[in-house]
Amino acid sequence: MPHTITEKILLKHTKAKDVHPGQFIDAKVDICLGNDITAPFAIEEFEKTGAKKVFDKNKVVLVPDHFAPAKDMKSANQCKILANFAKKYSIKNYFEIGRMGVEHALLPEMGLVLPGDLVIGADSHTCTYGALGAFSTGVGSTDLAAAMVAGEVWLKVPESMKFIFFGKLSKWVGGKDLILHTISDIGVDGALYQAMEFCGETIENLPMEDRLSMCNMAIEAGGKSGIIAPDKITERYERAIKNKSRRGIGKFYSSDKDAKYSKVKEYDVRKIEPLVACPSLPSNVKPASKLKDVTIDQVVIGSCTNGRISDLRIAAKILKDKKIKPGLRLIVIPATQKVYLEAVNEGLARIFVEAGGVFSTPTCGPCLGGHVGILAAGERAVATTNRNFIGRMGDPTSEVYLSNPAVAAATAIKGRIAHPDEVI
């Protein structure tokens, strides 16, 4: 029976002789992840089971990143719960302040997720790791608790949708624009509980950072997961990771030619220009060039979607030797400590500060309305984050526009939504 890449990975992780969409399975997990918002609930439920140890101390990952560094006493106590649990059960992959980063940028960087893995995380954007050729999905805190005890997860095999991208990308267009275009086309529930499989000549030439951005936002279309078949780009990325304790470079799966899909969509990327998702849905997408009358109070460059070094390089290229619009706030947040150091060593941090911005320690921060840049009543922000729901970044009357780093940087200079070609 022919299978998609998603079905092949799930079959490898279950005792079932075969799998098909709609089937419920118990599957072994390779990594289970929690953060400072979701893990405390999971830890509480874990302790209720009476378990004396986690199923594998090397496969549980805890990353305090949402409200960390702790912004108040409540968030400090949340982080402490993770620290205490990690110490009690000898959790190897607990990342304290100074080692941590935004979880979905940190795990690939550390080589903790491999092609062919099955990964669950108590965070909706866990689908990011599909860029590496893994089946990766978000779960609830109780599912995380159960996985920490048994090393398994109960789930329904999703149908798969295939998205074929062809053509050469235009200047300033990247993975963020491709996924915004896709979500605009199918809607925020267009891939409900389905695996979104991205492929085609464009994807085959797309850098890993852009692939991660695309799979990160599969959940914004209702997807159960996003996935890209691993290839030479994946192999180069995996081999470049310096982590002696990692489990090789993983297992490379691909879909059978006659695998079944619920739907197949094709996109000519030559028709896609830099895009912006307007309030208050990721599907409300318009070209940046058509939004020049939208003034902006704050620009945020960072997050698990676009906080990697390639994103910061793009922003710095546009901001170099320029100043941001007076009265506008520019907040740049590298996704990990490694990215932070690279940005400092390459002089990118200096560019951001000299332009009039601030350069923060790694954190999710303003993305979820946490800290380091909450919006006041009526304010508007352009952000390279992944979600722009009402009140997402602060006051319910504030507005968030989603863009790629190039548009965000150009906007910071102009004080209104701007196409990068306007400033460079």
pTM over 0.85: yes
- Tens-digit pLDDT profile for residues 33-75: 999 999 999 999 999 999 999 999 999 999 999 999 999 999 9
- Tens-digit pLDDT profile for residues 183-231: 999 999 999 999 999 999 999 999 999 999 999 999 999 999 999 999 9
> What pLDDT shows up at residue 168?
98
Confidence of residue 245 (pLDDT cuts 50, 70, 90): confident
Helix (H) or strand (E) holding 120: strand 118-121
Do 181 and 267 form a contact (C-beta atoms < 8 A)? yes
> What pLDDT shows up at residue 355?
98
- Tens-digit pLDDT profile for residues 350-404: 999 999 999 999 999 999 999 999 999 999 999 999 999 999 999 999 999 999 9
Q: Is 98 exposed, middle or buried (0-12, 13-18, 19+ CB in 10 A)?
A: exposed
Helix (H) or strand (E) holding 165: strand 159-166
- Tens-digit pLDDT profile for residues 77-118: 999 999 999 999 999 999 999 999 999 999 999 999 999 999
Measured CA to CA, the distance from residue 200 to residue 169 in angstroms comes to: 13
> What pLDDT shows up at residue 13?
98
Do 128 and 216 form a contact (C-beta atoms < 8 A)? yes
> What pLDDT shows up at residue 249?
87
CA–CA–CA angle 249, 130, 104 (5° rounding): 90
The answer on pLDDT for 244 being more than 80 is no
Do 371 and 252 form a contact (C-beta atoms < 8 A)? no
- Tens-digit pLDDT profile for residues 141-164: 999 999 999 999 999 999 999 999
Q: In what order do the strands lie in the sheet with 329-333?
A: 285-287, 275-277, 399-402, 380-383, 298-302, 329-333, 358-359
**DSSP 8-state class, residue 95:** -
The answer on pLDDT for 304 being more than 90 is yes
Do 11 and 262 form a contact (C-beta atoms < 8 A)? no
> What pLDDT shows up at residue 20?
97
Average pLDDT of every residue of the chain: 97
Rounded (10°) angle between helices 309-319 and 337-345: 30
> What pLDDT shows up at residue 80?
98
Confidence of residue 267 (pLDDT cuts 50, 70, 90): very high
> What pLDDT shows up at residue 242?
82
Torsional class of 76: left (φ above 0), alpha (ψ -120 to 50), beta (otherwise): alpha
> What pLDDT shows up at residue 243?
81
Specify the fold of 5-266: Aconitase; domain 3 (3.30.499)
> What pLDDT shows up at residue 221?
98
Do 304 and 336 form a contact (C-beta atoms < 8 A)? no
Q: What 3-state DSSP class applies to 300?
A: strand
> What pLDDT shows up at residue 273?
98
The answer on pLDDT for 248 being more than 90 is no
Do 307 and 334 form a contact (C-beta atoms < 8 A)? yes
Short-list 119, 138, 122, CA closest to 224: 138
Type of residue at 34: G
For the chain, give every residue range classified as CATH 3.30.499.10: 5-266, 276-422
Domain 276-422 has CATH 2.170.190.11: no
List, in order, residues 6 or more apart from 231 with CB less than 8 Å away.
204, 252
> What pLDDT shows up at residue 29?
98
**Mean pLDDT for the stretch of residues 116-139:** 98
